A and B are shown apart, each in its own frame.
Chain A
Amino acid sequence: MNETKEITRIEAFFLPAGMSFETTTSTRILTSEGPVELLIPVLDGEKLKMIIANLSRNRSDYLSTLSTSEIIERIAVASEKWLNPSYPQRVLAEQLLPALTGYAADSIRLQLKRYMRTFRRKELLRFIGEEFDDPLVLDEFRPRKSGGFSRAYGPKLLFQVFSGNVPGVSLWSMTMGLLLRSAQLGKTSMAEPLMAVWFAQSLAEVDAKLADSIAILPWKGGSEELEREAIRQADTVTVYGGRLAVESVRAKVPIEKKFVAYGPKASFAMIGKEALTPDRMNVTISRLAADVAHYDQQSCMSPQCVYIEDGGSIDAQGFAALIAAELGRLQLRWPRASLADQEAYAILEVRNRYWLEEAAGEGSAVYASTKDAQWTVVYHNTPRFEGSPLNRTLHVYRCRRVEDVIPMLEPAGQAGLLQTCGAAIGPHRMFALAEALGNIGVNRFCHIGSMLQAKAGWHHDGRFNLMDLIRFTDIERTMEDELEQYDPDFE
């Protein structure tokens, strides 16, 4: 069927109006609606220089003259377009992203609309309000409580290196760039180069001049000429991705430039006996299974292991067996992406290791899909902390109380590798658990079932969002007071 249809060509880049470059096409992607090829611009350092010059001009001519509330308004209108199921870019995303990323179409549809809701005006206001007592500080010098005035300035040129693991993660970064009046050059990953482009198009539909300060370009990570030029001109560099990606960019950024990295992190879940009562058990299992299944654990917010407390109506091994069955059902609903050989080997390695442990009667049990490496649950009768090879591989640890495993998480936490704890425990235990885990480096708690839906304004990897990118200029009280004497009319 697909062969008979015409090839659709989709631009996998976004440039300010009036700029166009020669393009090449990507390998063909087969979608439900026929074959698609992505158009990729052929770039070199000179072209990138032109693009950056254009972005910077457009920024100072227009974006920098807008107020924060004007920008919020435009972003909100652009992203609310995405909440309409027949919005062309959304239709395209729902067709193309499953083919491009391998993630299940229904899972992408669900996650995408949940995600786009976090860009409503109220959420954007909250996002800024989270970090600025007085958001007008982004627009003008504002009085400080201690006297004097301050104003915040965003980067003039923000070079952002996006990762391709979760569709759309780049959108918050683009939003931040806009709120800070930065010209932005976004480098996308070929694993998912499209969402940032489509979002820029939505912005352009709302305000073409605003979008003219954005360029979204895919190139192969590590391309020396392009990255050197981008970094040379940018005053701030942000990078999202794995260790290698982050380190490769970091090595090129001189110390006087601002460098913000969101490197690899792992998340986990904790289930208290309160969530394992007969009436709650099934919901608990299906919520956690959904967290595992969405985006095949490729998000840093995805749980890689779960600690199951004794004393519930099922024990940890029963939980492992049941969540395995649930993952089996989810495979029908949201089939997992097909794996690269290396990914399959990594899962095989873990399965082998624990099959051997199980065979030796050492307290592990493996629950694994038989036909294919679609899902794997490994039960352990004593708690430890172990990363997962991902792609729906979950370690289930039995523990007496979830609080008991904190020391085992500590090394990974101290190394800065832990991020989200999805928890289901009694409310009286919340603060003590959060306190203890926060102390070792965990930076986000949420209920299971919503691990992948961080709220607008969350402290991403425990840090500020806008605050990390801005600089302040202060007018001190002495200046304010003493300058009065130079007024000719001063007594």
Chain B
Amino acid sequence: MRPESKTIINAVKAYIERHSVINADSMASEQAFGELALQLFQFQCEYNSAYRNYAKLKRKLPNQLDSWRDIPPMPIQAFKRSPLACEPPEEAAAVFMTSGTTNPEQRGRQYHPTFEVWDASMSTGFRSFVMGDIGKLKILSLSPAEDIHTNSSLSRYLSQALRLFGTSGSQSYFQQDGLVVEQLLDDLRACEEQGEPVLLLGATFAYVPLLDTIEKLGIRFRLAPGSRILDTGGFKGKSREVSVNWLYEKFEQCFGVPRTLCVNMYGMTELCSQYYDTTILTGAFTKMKLGPAWLRPLVLDPNTLLPVAEGNVGVLAHFDLANWNSCVAILTEDIGVMEGGRFELIGRIAGSEARGCSLAVEQFIQSNGLQTS
């Protein structure tokens, strides 16, 4: 690893450490955030040629910027095109890939030369937004761990959570051939009987069939006070789609976990940090999401790519200081709305329908599988 990378890693780690307590004031460090973001961008323009070329094209090279908000967010499509990395991709310790829901041939890749920063970011965020003042909990995970999905950022996230915040006996219930429901239910029952609080972790869509099974069996859990549930990722056509309200009502009915102890995590392969809703952090149910102090969202006008005023809907860009090896700023395909430094995720950019007989690009694909590129 080149010395410049080590310097950057240390700078980011120091920043994370300085801001490890997450509270409403964590946004106050505007200047410190901006300085490090610009420093990272400069570093990336030097060693990540794809990002540099993009920035050059957008006339947003480091010396052309006034603020971290001017850093051109890299469209996440770019992660599918070519390696985006400062350190040589072939030397990476791991590469995380997107699920490739739209096109399995084209999966976005994020290279990790080391997990030093990723781990520091993950654990600091998880502690504040999920654990609160509890050190460890019995963790039951519904989604594949890293031994099953070696290239999944979510799997590593879950495995890290188990390692760092799980008491003994914490485990993943997703085995090679799927969720081991019976054992999961038995273990949940045992925890309930012993009055041991648990933390359920899993992809949002993974809960739906579990809840269906619980309903079918006509059983109910009253998990010990302090038990909590984390879900992440939404549905993306994986299971039948249900509303967030339905999900949280079921959590309360089936597990006895109140809404105020449920948290939704928003993470992406293209990021090294995660957002969470602030429900557990503040004790008040909300869908508004906040990141740790080294992760900031902007909502951009799709027409101009300039930030919109608070309360307006636009496309989400994320500035993640932990993304030291790829791109400090990314442009997502998600839409959201900001309010007081937090954002609400509204959905994904969907293709548009033409208003009449003219065939829009989206419909080409639907009509006959004609790929556009």
- Interface pair B54/A265, CB less than 8 Å apart: no
Q: Chain A residues near B75: list those with CB within 8 A.
A: 352-353, 355-356
Question: Which B residues touch A344, using CB under 8 A?
Answer: 302-303
B339-361 interface with A by 8 A CB criterion: 349-361
Given A339-B303, A341-B302, A386-B361: A355 touches B356 (CB 8 Å cut-off): no
Stretch at the interface among B224-232, B234-242, B278-286, B363-371: B363-371
Task: Name the interface residues of B152-178: CB closer than 8 Å to any CB of A.
Answer: none
- A342-B350, A355-B54 as given contacts; A417 in contact with B364, CB under 8 Å: yes
Contacts of A302 in B (CB 8 A): 358
Residues of chain A contacted by B58 (CB below 8 angstroms): 355
- Residues in A with CB closer than 8 Å to B7 are none
With A339-B303, A389-B352 as given contacts, are A359 and B50 in contact (CB-CB < 8 Å)?
yes
A360–B367 Cα distance when bound, in Å, is 31
Q: Which residues of A307-359 are within 8 A (CB) of B?
A: 339-350, 352-353, 355-356, 358-359
Give A166 to B367 CA distance when docked, in angstroms: 22
Say whether B78 faces chain A, with CB atoms less than 8 Å apart. Answer: yes
Identify the closest chain A residue to B313 (Cβ): A341
Contact B315 A345 (CB under 8 A): yes
Contact A341 B357 (CB under 8 A): no
A164 touches B355 (CB 8 A): yes
List the A side residues contacting B315 at CB < 8 Å.
Answer: 345, 348
Which residues in B have their C-beta under 8 angstroms from that of A417? 359, 364, 367-368
Please tell me which stretch of A40-48, A141-149, A292-300 contacts chain B, meaning at least 4 of its Cβ atoms lie within 8 angstroms of it.
Answer: A292-300
| Residue among A264, A339, A359, A361 making CB contact with B354, cutoff 8 Å | A264
Q: Which of A244, A265, A355, A359 contacts B358 (CB 8 A)?
A: A265
| Chain A residues whose CB sits within 8 angstroms of the CB of B78 once the complex forms | 356
Report how far A347 CA is from B331 CA in the complex, Å: 14
Q: How large is the interface on B (under 10, 10 to 19, 20 to 34, 35 or more residues)?
A: 35 or more
Q: Are B357 and A412 in contact (CB under 8 A)?
A: no
Q: How far is the CB of B9 from chain A (nearest CB, A)?
A: 26
- B361–A415 contact, CB under 8 A? no
Pick the contact of B357: A242, A347, A411 (CB < 8 A): A242
Closest residue of chain B to A241, judged by CB?
Answer: B356
Q: Mark A395-439, 1 if CB is under 8 A from B, else 0.
A: 000000000000000011001010000000000000000000000
Residue of B nearest to A101 (CB): B355
Given the known A-B contacts A352-B77, A360-B53, are A300 and B352 also in contact in the complex, defined by CB atoms under 8 Å? no
Chain A residues in 8 Å Cβ range of B366: 243
Closest to A353 in B: B77
Report the Cα distance A358→B358, complex, angstroms.
28
Of A191, A372, A386, the contact of B304 (CB 8 Å cutoff): A372
- Shortest Cβ distance from residue A297 to the other chain B in the assembled complex, whole angstroms: 6
Minimal Cβ-Cβ distance residue in B for A374: B303
Contact yes or no, B372 A264, CB < 8 A: no
For A165, list chain B residues within 8 Å (CB).
354-358
CB distance from A265 to the nearest CB of B (A): 6
> Does B134 interact with chain A (Cβ within 8 Å)?
no
Q: Of A242, A297, A371, A411, which contacts B363 at CB under 8 A?
A: A242
Alpha-carbon separation in the docked complex, A359 to B351 (Å): 24
B82 proximal to A (CB < 8 A):
yes
> B360 and A389: CB pair below 8 A?
yes
Which residue of chain A lies nearest to B331 when distances are taken between CB atoms in the complex? A352
Tell whether B183 is near chain A: CB-to-CB under 8 Å. no
**B residues in contact with A178, CB < 8 Å:** none
Interface residue A363 (Cβ < 8 Å from any Cβ of B): no
A198 near B: Cβ within 8 Å? Answer: no
Contact, CB under 8 Å: A373 / B354: no
Do residues A387 and B364 form an inter-chain contact, with CB atoms below 8 A?
yes
Interface centre among B78, B303, B359 (most CB of A within 10 A): B359
CB within 8 Å of A: which B51-88 residues:
53-54, 56-58, 75, 77-78, 81-82
Residue of B nearest to A263 (CB): B357
Verify if A266 is at the interface (C-beta below 8 Å from B): yes
- B194 an interface residue at 8 Å Cβ cutoff? no
In the complex, which residues 278-336 of chain B have their Cβ closer than 8 Å to any Cβ of chain A? 302-305, 313, 315, 331, 333, 335
Q: Does B373 interact with chain A (Cβ within 8 Å)? A: yes
A240 within 8 A of partner (CB): yes
Given known contacts A346-B351, A350-B361, A387-B359, is B302 in contact with A373 (CB within 8 Å)?
A: yes
CA distance A346 to B362 in the complex (A): 8
How far is A250 from B132 in the complex, measured between Cα atoms in Å?
A: 57
Q: Within the complex, which residue of B333, B352, B372 is in contact with A342, where a contact is CB–CB below 8 Å? A: B352
Residues of A with C-beta under 8 A to B304: 371-373
A189 to B368, CA, bound (A): 26
Question: How far, in Å, is B44 (CB) from chain A's closest CB?
Answer: 14
- A340 to B350: give the CA distance in the assembly, Å: 12
**Are A359 and B57 interface neighbours, CB within 8 A?**
yes
Interface residue A390 (Cβ < 8 Å from any Cβ of B): yes
Known contacts A355-B54, A356-B78, A243 near B361 by CB under 8 Å: no
In the complex, A262 has a CB within 8 A of chain B: yes
Q: Are the CB atoms of B360 and A360 closer together than 8 Å? A: no
Residues of B within 8 Å of A361, CB to CB, are 53
Establish whether residues A345 and B358, one from each chain, have CB atoms under 8 Å apart when the complex forms: no
Q: Which of B53, B331, B357 has a CB less than 8 Å from the CB of A265?
A: B357
Contact pick for A356, options B77, B352, B357, CB 8 Å: B77
> Is A355 touching B373 in the complex (CB atoms < 8 A)?
no
Q: With A264-B354, A341-B313, A387-B372 in contact, is A356–B81 under 8 Å at CB?
A: yes
Contacts of B370 in A (CB 8 A): 411-412, 415
Cα(A306)–Cα(B304), bound, Å: 26
Known: A345-B302, A348-B302. A387 touches B361 (CB 8 A): yes
Cβ of A284 < 8 Å from any Cβ of B?
Answer: no
Q: Mark A231-268, 1 if CB is under 8 A from B, else 0.
A: 00000000011111000000000000000001111100
Residue A388 interfacial (CB < 8 Å): yes
B302 near A266 with CB under 8 A, answer no
Instruction: Give the residue name and chain of the A residue nearest to B371 (CB).
Output: A386
Nearest Cβ on chain A to B81's Cβ, whole angstroms: 6
Any B CB within 8 A of the CB of A163: yes
| Nearest residue, chain A, Cβ from B81 | A356
Q: For B351, what are the chain A residues with a Cβ–Cβ distance below 8 Å?
A: 342, 346
With a cutoff of 8 Å between Cβ atoms, the chain A residues found around residue B362 in the complex are 346, 389
Among B303, B357, B367, B370, max chain A CB count under 10 A is at B357
User: CB-CB < 8 A to B305: which residues of A?
Assistant: 348
Q: How far is the CB of B225 from chain A (nearest CB, A)?
A: 43
Tell me, rounded to whole Å, the shortest Cβ–Cβ distance linking B371 to chain A.
9
Task: Determine the distance from Cα of A341 to Cα of B367 in the docked complex, in whole angstroms.
Answer: 23
Contacts of A164 in B (CB 8 A): 355-356
A-B contact pairs, 28 of them (CB 8 A): A163-B355, A164-B356, A165-B354, A169-B356, A191-B355, A191-B356, A242-B355, A264-B354, A265-B359, A297-B358, A304-B358, A341-B302, A342-B351, A342-B352, A348-B303, A348-B315, A352-B75, A352-B331, A353-B373, A355-B58, A356-B54, A360-B81, A361-B53, A387-B364, A387-B372, A388-B360, A411-B368, A411-B370
B residues with CB within 8 A of A: 50, 53-54, 56-58, 75, 77-78, 81-82, 302-305, 313, 315, 331, 333, 335, 349-364, 366-368, 370, 372-373
Given contacts A242-B359, A359-B50, A389-B361, 11 further A-B contacts (CB under 8 A): A165-B357, A242-B355, A243-B363, A264-B359, A299-B357, A304-B359, A345-B349, A352-B331, A361-B53, A373-B304, A388-B361
Across the A-B interface, the 10 shortest Cβ-Cβ residue pairs: A165-B356, A163-B356, A387-B361, A352-B75, A264-B359, A342-B352, A344-B302, A359-B53, A300-B357, A359-B54
